Structure 1
Amino acid sequence: MAILVIAAATLVAPPASAAAPKPPEQTSEASHRITLITGDVVDYTERSDGRKLAQIHAAPRDGEEPIFHTMTTPDGLFVYPSDAMGVLTSGTVERTLFNVTELVRAGQADDRTSTVPVLLTGGFSASAHTRISSLNASGVHVEKAKAREFWRSLDMSAKSGTRLKFDRPIHVALDQTTKQIGAPEAWQRGLDGTGVTVAVVDTGVDTGHPDLAAKITATENFSDEPDVTDRHGHGTHVASIVAGTGAKYKGVAPGAQLVIAKVFNGAGEADTSQVMAGIEWAARSGAKIVNLSLGGDVTDGSDELSALVDQLSAETGALFVVAAGNNGPAGRSVTSPGAAASALTVGAVDRQNKLAPFSSTGPRIGDALVKPEINAPGVGVVAARAAGTSMGAPVDDLHTAASGTSMATPHVAGAAALLAQQHPDWNAQTLKNALVTSAADVGMAWHEQGAGRLDVARAVTQKATATASASFGRYERGPGGSITRELSYTNDSATPLTLDLTTALKGWDGKPTTAFSLAPSRLAIPAHAKATATLSVDPEAGPAGVYGGTITATGPATTLRTPVSIYEAPQTFPVSVHVRDATGKPPAPAFGQLIDDSNGGDDVNDPFDDTVSYYFDVVNGEGLANVPSGRYSAVSWATENTATTRRWSALAAPELTITGAHEVSLDAQKTVPVEVVPPNPAEQRDRTVTMRRVLPAEGDKLPLIVETAAVLGSAPWEVHTTPAAAAKKGAISLQDNVTLQTTTITLTSGGRTVQAEGDVSRWPGDITDGIKVVKLRADTPANLVKAANAAATAAAQEGKKAVLSYVDQTGALPLTGLASTALPSLSIGNADGEFLAKQTAIRLSIRPAPEAVFNLSFLDANGIPADHRRTVDPAGLVKRDTSYHADKPGLTVQKTWYPFPTGLWQSQILRGTTFTPPVAWTEYIGPGDERIVWKRHVTLSGTDAKGQRAAMTMFQENVFRTGAPPAAERWFAGPMHSTAIELQSDHPARYPAAGDSWRQLCSNCRTGDTFVPALQWTDDNPGHYTNPYQNSKFFTTTKVRLFKGDTEIPADPRPLAFYPTFQLAPEKANYRLETVETQAPGAVAGAINPVLFTLASRTETSWTFQSYRSQNPPPRGYSCHDGAATCQFQPLIRLRHDLPLDLTNSAPAGKPFVYHVSATNSVPITVVKVQWSADGAKWQQAATQPDGDRWQVTIDQPTGDVWLRTEARDGAGNTVTQTIQKAFKTH
């Protein structure tokens, strides 16, 4: 579900000249876990600079584990399992269900919801929470824990007719205003909506509100709450604007009756299917008018919700009055279902008839249809307040003021009720015609106001109506003549009426156009009769683009305004893309893109020429896209997966010139192998190969990076690519990220070493007997894996110690993705299988961990060479002797080390490697390349007794240069503690070429007179850090108090702050900072907690320091709080305990323990004292002595869990005292 913000505030900043230029702010990150409808899980991080990171976890399959295809486009990051491509390319399943960027924005992260909302069309589901009979569709909340089971249960064959779509979140579109629209004049004529029923589809209603007494004739609940009670306030407010009877805050049609369909819950949230069901009921309830103060995505009107509004309008005759949306003031921002052609779509104005800054404006995307058609008051509207709610700005116990197109819409719905009372024979289109064409021109463009602001007085007094709007839609330029639209004018009076017609039409660029002609320019209409005028447009006159304006008809006491529009689209040409695999045959289904090498057009007359990527499906080897003339790059992929071949080919045809119908060949037969050759036999743990098309920023165009990748994981697929010359504009790039490890499986027999595939690390040791060799009958890879797993189960029941399976087909490869918990199950190639089947002595040796791991990234910055064989030279790699610590059993480490090429990346996707700590090996990283930033994530995770997941990720960023010296590195070595992050010399923020996006927030830092305490946490390795505050976990583990003398300084009271800040005195003063750090209660993600750690359960620290205001710029690599231009670290002494602990964070008991303390500050440290305790009650002094820039500490024969109390003082009198409970344990 999405969380909706239904009120907006505008913040006014001082002129840029009034302040010094600000340095770049820290790039923040937001991390989420998303379960896809296939059951696969993506850990997704989106940075504030638009970059994306993802780690993919495949759901268990019965058969072969898939690889994953990913695409990064302007629409987001898509993650496609290879075994879902068939139903995706056929259109059976909507691609949005795999757009992790969109799913996060729609509130679908796992920490927000435990279900996936889907719309199942083509039949009803037994598990449906909502049914829409008009569409033969169901809304289903799929439990994420059972997503894989649901996916497998679907019949998605062509004959089933089943279609699966994302059930998108819809939200409510969030005062004397009746006078503003002329309602009192209608009331004086006895018009108050009596006899007319208006349906309100919203958050429910306060049935006991006095302004709505006796107004409600029927209700129905479609929400996930138990009744129609309005727990939000929006629906009651909207209903009273339509028909409220309040003495002071009267609705537009106080005599109308209401029917209420509750679709939203108390948070203003609903699935599309719930809204659709409510709309369907409302339209069939007998309501003449349906008010929809709600909105979803910006669409072209072809979405399910808009289509349902059009369908029900035709079937029931109801007039749907719909909010335009609150995405303004940007153009082309009208949301669904306001995009429906039949809807009367409403924008908002303020009390001065100025466009509300939030009001969505048109035209409709795709065809420039006039939307909204009308505006109405929507700022500070006072109406009924539901009991127990506080939406908007409450005026009194019964009323509140709110703003939004939600508030504008019921003004128009109420006006429609007045007209329906006055003209009970009028249908929905006539009501719409009358309301739109009688609107008052308030000086805005046609795509902002439609015909103008609602004018009820004119609508009920004027005796003529006209066509509400005349949109020609999208017309592709090319040979052909003029096109026409008939405009109808109706004279409802008893006397003849003469109307003079004038046009005011312009291009999107604001220039007048001569493309339109109107005939006749004067109409003489008899009493109670109609007349028509013909509007013609020559689509070839003038430049392509959008044209629109208003036709005004004037006569005695009559003014009729009809907005018109046309989109004269540039001519497009079909581009047929022929995709072939390495055998010359059509490959498995895929997607592809044609990328506009101009990075979108710059035609000021065409607001729709910013399309930069044209998608095509590849089915049976063929794809088709229609594009305007220009230069394009085509990219796609070819997948071959059989018993004898596993091959993925990245395909490209860059910088094509398209001037007419065109054919493009993407042929895997013309590709070259992409190979990584290790120095010794190795096993693949992870691999992602990414092809990128990069276009530079130009003018007001942002840089464009479109990516296509194969996320292969540990499956040893062959990779091939189309070789390509360097792009003339931007770059075409290939990046190969691969993780290899020294062999952990050695299988020998008769002096021959055999390659075997499988994850058998849980059974370390040597097996020399009881090894069964099984031959599998040739089949599909998925069925073969099932057969191998069944063979392993059978072998275990027979008492065997291991099983080796192979496929009975010449050239068959070892299978991948075998799963057995009973005994080691490995797969071997056909030739090796035939050999081993004849042997009597087989030896299987399994190491629990590798000796070394190679983290490799090879980058072609621009151009893809034909020779893509990369031999790994350890001398060109950076060596790290690495340990992964854990002071509790049963935990898991996920390691994802993302190599980011500077300026050439939009996303990085890995499967990552998973293993059980504690463990140690040598990590090799490289090759050294100053163009690549390694953002290294190491996540420690586990589950509590209830199965709740806990996780904490430690980060470090590095630029590894060739020749960097070897070093040791320890992840999660205790004790964990808070800190101000230290940037090492190889941190990318210290490299100008890496850009400012790697800057870190300066903590323990003063910005002006604002103090920011330490925000990060770290282990004992310099440069490692985690940011609990970015996961809203700072206050979960840390309490901070600041004193000036004995007076406590209160923290900034901002309720939604991620971390505390304190105001300091401008002059020099002495301060005391006290922090208490504890583990979070229970299983959490993003903070230290008892599921993951037994040590450092509580840390108390007290600093004294002197501070004064400074105008120094931030230290290099850091950014300041609130983006300020100046900030500086404060002289708080930083303690770091370098404890020589083993992998379980333990030390030997009963013998002297020697370690070092680093106490650093801008002033030299003069004193360090340490005490230790086994229980926190009895303390003993430890011996300390200076040792270079550190202090050596000796504890005499510690036992049990060791507490540490450390004191330090510098030459300026700044001090620190820190007590760590259970800093380490002994054994």
Structure 2
Amino acid sequence: MATPHVVGAAALLAQQHAGWKAPEFKAVLMGSAKKLPNQSVFAQGAGRIDVAKAITESVLGSPSSLSFGTALWPHTDDKPVARQLTYRNLGKAAVTLTLKLTASSTDGKPAPASAFKLSASSVTIPAGGSASVTVTSNTKHNGPDALYSGQVVAKAGASVIGTPLAVDKEVESYDLVIRHIGPDGKGTDQGDTLLYSLDRDFATELTPGADGVVKLRLPKGKYFLDGTVGDAQGRVYQLVRPVLTLDRATSAPVDARQAKPVRMTLPRADARLGQLEIGYLRGLSEGAESNSIWAPDLDQVRVGSLGKAAAKDEMLSYVSTRWGVPKPDGQFLDSPYSYNLLQGKQGSYFSGYNRIVRDKELAKVVTRYAADQPGLLALDQRFGTLPGAGLSSSGQTFAYSRPGQATHYLDTAVGTTWSAMVDTVKPDSGDGRWLINHVAYDRPYQAGRTYSERWGAAVAVPDVADGGSTRTGNTINVYVQPNADADGHSGDSLEVDKASIKLFRNGKLIGSDTSPGQLSVEDVAAGKGSFRLESSQVRSLLQLATQLSTVWTFSSQDTGSKEVALPLWAVRPRPAVDLNNSVARQPLSILPLDVVSQPGAKVGAVKQVTLQVSGDGGKTWTKASVVRTPKSGYKAFFRTPAGAKLISLRSTLADRDGNTVSQSVLNAYRIR
């Protein structure tokens, strides 16, 4: 917003001074600006524009600011630098200006008296004329090495003209030369370098000239360097220096000849690489920096680690790959297996990489993809996280027909966890239409063990098991998974006809949103109230769970500064469906029901669970018999509706504290 404000101010000046050009506008706007207290030139420039004052100003200073450049360390041969400051009087009477110079270092302390000098303490400017003074900067003083900034203030009655000034008395600094060298041993401009300070907040990206050389001057300290070079074949050579100590003039070559290949051998001859990601996470004083290279072919990457290693807890490098069996067109569709591999290295980068993979080192995950309808795809991604990494590797997508099955092998280094995301897609246009998104987060696995998982199984219902619905003081935040599957994978529909969530207090609507699972309401009345939370969806692009409606009721009041989980329940029907989400027809249906409350919520013991069943899309309903099972679950018994191909469900739960939930799912699962 600075630009339009300055343009507007200049336009107002142009109305008053039609003959002025850009230098006059700049001079008067800077000279008349109001300087903010306790702010350096580097923080505020000349100050805050004062348009009213600028319009009446008739004295201009030129140049608008004074820069004395940089005096290179160690300052033994520094010489004074003089600049001329000229004042023009546009008025019809002579003006006498009194001059004062103030300056300070970056720590806010006044600059030594010898740092700057004015040649005169006042000047008289004739009408229509000009007068000049000399401002001299002398960095050969006993003040600290630092940036110094200030202002020359010229006053004549109510007229005040400020001219900002600055000089850099360079801190201890040295020249750094980075040479980018290609695999042929010659300098190349096909590369770049990322350079970070390990001592302060500084980062830069450097691009070499035609000779491959970058020269810069930096303060003494420790740096982290990540350099890359490319060649004509499309290969990337990455050289990482975890610690670059700059305490003298230094050369740091980025030499492609020092990078080594990345090689992997898998147990299956038909396995092909889908994606390679190799990168690092470097802890810095102001946070963390990360970078990675992606490639579809191992031969496209060479890597190397140079110089001294960092401490083990200050740097983590990783190699992440996904392998499978591609179709002739190169797409990984219905690959019978995938290898999801992730290994880390602490303290330094990889100097090449060579791994022989063995199945016994991995976890085996047999995965089934249930279908809402024929023709949909499951897009499967796996994200590995190493201990202490704070970030996940990027997972390539493998597509699977629904219904379908695959076996995924996962790395199992100590502390490694895996997250998965499985999208349901209708591939009818472009990249397809995302209908449902299911996720599972940060699960550990053990080497040599076989696991089983299923995605997209009926019945889809809103779920509270992930938490996130809370009240803090008088703010209520609602976060429920609107379309979790039968196995508890968090889920959301991305293509809905309509959806809403509404919150009522004592019967009055206090908040709503078009998302069926998220809502935030502030300034809720502090006193204890009765709340009703309604979530609904219509999903005509799907054949199952085409309409969902859930209503929660609970009591709540001001919680002060404490965050309190809302007492929300969910009823999760778990029919024994196959991968077409259908159940074999039996005269008597037996339907397991799980009941789940939000983690951390204070709820009462379950008092009642009910279920109603419809075989005609919700036109008529029949009450089921619900009994409690020995393991605190429930089972519902009902006569299977004659001729029904789809079963719809309505359930309720009430606890002894008065919290309730009512759920309705039209076309919940199939009968075959």
Q: Does 1:1038 align with 2:500?
A: yes
Q: Does 1:857 align with 2:342?
A: yes
Q: CA deviation at 1:529?
A: 3.2
- TM alignment of 1:252-651, pairs within 5 A: 295=3, 323=5, 346=6, 410-411=8-9, 413-418=11-16, 420=17, 424=19, 426-434=20-28, 436-437=30-31, 445=39, 447=41, 448=44, 450=46, 454=50, 456=52, 460=56, 464-467=59-62, 469-472=64-67, 474-475=69-70, 477=72, 481-491=79-89, 498-513=96-111, 514-526=114-126, 528-541=128-141, 542-554=143-155, 559-568=160-169, 571=173, 573-581=175-183, 589-598=190-199, 600=200, 610-611=201-202, 613-617=203-207, 622-628=212-218, 629-639=220-230, 642=233, 648-651=236-239
Q: CA deviation at 1:878?
A: 3.4
Amino acid at match of 1:1173: S
Q: Does 1:1126 align with 2:591?
A: no
Question: In the aligned structure 2, how far is the partner of 1:569 from the partner of 1:584?
Answer: 36
Amino acid at match of 2:376: L
Aligned twin of 1:1099: 548
Question: In the aligned structure 1, how far is the partner of 2:331 from the partner of 2:217?
Answer: 51
Question: In the aligned structure 2, how far is the partner of 1:559 from the partner of 1:1193?
Answer: 86
Question: In the aligned structure 1, how far is the partner of 2:594 from the partner of 2:448?
Answer: 24
Q: CA deviation at 1:1135?
A: 0.7
Aligned twin of 2:600: none
Question: In the aligned structure 1, how far is the partner of 2:8 from the partner of 2:47?
Answer: 18
| Residues 631, 658 of structure 1: 8 Å contact kept | yes
Question: In the aligned structure 2, how far is the partner of 1:1102 from the partner of 1:1156?
Answer: 21
Question: In the aligned structure 1, how far is the partner of 2:259 from the partner of 2:457?
Answer: 46
Q: CA deviation at 1:947?
A: 9.2
CA spacing shift, 1:907–1:620, aligned 2, 3 Å: farther
Q: CA deviation at 1:736?
A: 1.0
CA spacing shift, 1:649–1:1189, aligned 2, 3 Å: farther
Q: Does 1:1206 align with 2:658?
A: no
| Residues 486, 573 of structure 2: 8 Å contact kept | no
Judging by fraction of residues, say which structure has more strand: 2
Aligned twin of 2:465: 981
CA spacing shift, 1:559–1:1214, aligned 2, 3 Å: closer
Question: In the aligned structure 2, how far is the partner of 1:415 from the partner of 1:1016?
Answer: 58
For normalisation by structure 1, the TM-score amounts to 0.48
For each residue in 1:202-234, what CA deviation from the matched residue of structure 2 results, as whole angstroms up to 9, or x when unmatched?
xxxxxxxxxxxxxxxxxxxxxxxxxxxxxxxxx
Question: In the aligned structure 1, how far is the partner of 2:410 from the partner of 2:180?
Answer: 39
For each residue in 1:685-720, what CA deviation from the matched residue of structure 2 results, as whole angstroms up to 9, or x when unmatched?
5333333251344xxxx213132x22124x453654
Question: In the aligned structure 1, how far is the partner of 2:421 from the partner of 2:480?
Answer: 18
Question: 3-state SS of the aligned residue for 2:207?
Answer: strand
Amino acid at match of 1:957: Y
> What is the aligned-residue RMSD (CA, Å)?
4.1
CA spacing shift, 1:476–1:654, aligned 2, 3 Å: farther
Q: Does 1:1190 align with 2:633?
A: yes
Q: Does 1:969 align with 2:435?
A: no
Q: CA deviation at 1:1158?
A: 0.7
- Aligned pair partner of 2:614 in 1156, 1167, 1173: 1173
Question: In the aligned structure 1, how far is the partner of 2:120 from the partner of 2:566?
Answer: 77
Aligned twin of 1:759: 330
Aligned twin of 2:424: 940
Q: Does 1:883 align with 2:365?
A: no
Question: In the aligned structure 1, how far is the partner of 2:661 from the partner of 2:513?
Answer: 29
Judging by fraction of residues, say which structure has more helix: 1
For each residue in 1:418-456, what CA deviation from the matched residue of structure 2 results, as whole angstroms up to 9, or x when unmatched?
2x16xx5x5443454455445666757463372676375
Q: CA deviation at 1:869?
A: 3.3
Question: In the aligned structure 1, how far is the partner of 2:626 from the partner of 2:150?
Answer: 84
Question: In the aligned structure 1, how far is the partner of 2:64 from the partner of 2:498?
Answer: 56
Aligned twin of 1:68: none
Question: 3-state SS of the aligned residue for 2:612?
Answer: strand
Question: In the aligned structure 1, how far is the partner of 2:106 from the partner of 2:137?
Answer: 16
Q: CA deviation at 1:1156?
A: 1.5
CA spacing shift, 1:1020–1:1055, aligned 2, 3 Å: closer
Amino acid at match of 2:61: A
Question: In the aligned structure 2, how far is the partner of 1:496 from the partner of 1:1219?
Answer: 88
Question: 3-state SS of the aligned residue for 1:717?
Answer: helix
CA spacing shift, 1:909–1:556, aligned 2, 3 Å: same
Question: In the aligned structure 2, how far is the partner of 1:512 from the partner of 1:1204?
Answer: 77
Q: Does 1:1090 align with 2:540?
A: yes
- Aligned pair partner of 2:276 in 688, 697, 700: 688
- TM alignment of 1:199-278, pairs within 5 A: none
Amino acid at match of 1:1205: R
CA spacing shift, 1:438–1:672, aligned 2, 3 Å: closer
CA spacing shift, 1:1053–1:1101, aligned 2, 3 Å: closer
For each residue in 1:136-177, what CA deviation from the matched residue of structure 2 results, as whole angstroms up to 9, or x when unmatched?
xxxxxxxxxxxxxxxxxxxxxxxxxxxxxxxxxxxxx3xxxx
| Residues 458, 574 of structure 2: 8 Å contact kept | no
Amino acid at match of 2:364: K
For normalisation by structure 2, the TM-score amounts to 0.82
Percentage of pairs with the same residue? 20
Question: In the aligned structure 1, how far is the partner of 2:341 from the partner of 2:46?
Answer: 58
Aligned twin of 1:1049: 508
Question: 3-state SS of the aligned residue for 2:330?
Answer: coil
Question: 3-state SS of the aligned residue for 2:152?
Answer: strand
CA spacing shift, 1:460–1:1158, aligned 2, 3 Å: closer
| Residues 477, 540 of structure 1: 8 Å contact kept | no
Question: In the aligned structure 2, how far is the partner of 1:1078 from the partner of 1:634?
Answer: 51
Question: In the aligned structure 1, how far is the partner of 2:361 from the partner of 2:89?
Answer: 86
Q: CA deviation at 1:517?
A: 1.7
Aligned twin of 1:1059: 519
Amino acid at match of 2:134: T
CA spacing shift, 1:648–1:929, aligned 2, 3 Å: farther
- TM alignment of 1:761-780, pairs within 5 A: none
Amino acid at match of 1:1052: G
Q: CA deviation at 1:870?
A: 3.3
| Residues 882, 970 of structure 1: 8 Å contact kept | yes
Aligned twin of 2:246: 658
Aligned twin of 2:480: 1015
Long gaps (5+) in structure 1: 1-172, 174-293, 296-321, 324-345, 347-408, 601-609, 746-756, 763-847, 983-1000, 1080-1088, 1113-1123
Q: Does 1:736 align with 2:326?
A: no
CA spacing shift, 1:880–1:1184, aligned 2, 3 Å: farther
CA spacing shift, 1:1158–1:980, aligned 2, 3 Å: same
For each residue in 1:54-101, what CA deviation from the matched residue of structure 2 results, as whole angstroms up to 9, or x when unmatched?
xxxxxxxxxxxxxxxxxxxxxxxxxxxxxxxxxxxxxxxxxxxxxxxx
For each residue in 1:859-910, what CA deviation from the matched residue of structure 2 results, as whole angstroms up to 9, or x when unmatched?
1132346684334344443333212223233433333322233543567444
Aligned twin of 1:765: none
Aligned twin of 1:1024: 489
Q: CA deviation at 1:926?
A: 2.3
For each residue in 1:230-265, what CA deviation from the matched residue of structure 2 results, as whole angstroms up to 9, or x when unmatched?
xxxxxxxxxxxxxxxxxxxxxxxxxxxxxxxxxxxx
Q: CA deviation at 1:412?
A: 5.5
Question: In the aligned structure 2, how far is the partner of 1:731 from the partner of 1:897?
Answer: 26
| Residues 589, 621 of structure 1: 8 Å contact kept | no
For each residue in 1:248-287, what CA deviation from the matched residue of structure 2 results, as whole angstroms up to 9, or x when unmatched?
xxxxxxxxxxxxxxxxxxxxxxxxxxxxxxxxxxxxxxxx
Question: In the aligned structure 1, how far is the partner of 2:449 from the partner of 2:473?
Answer: 40
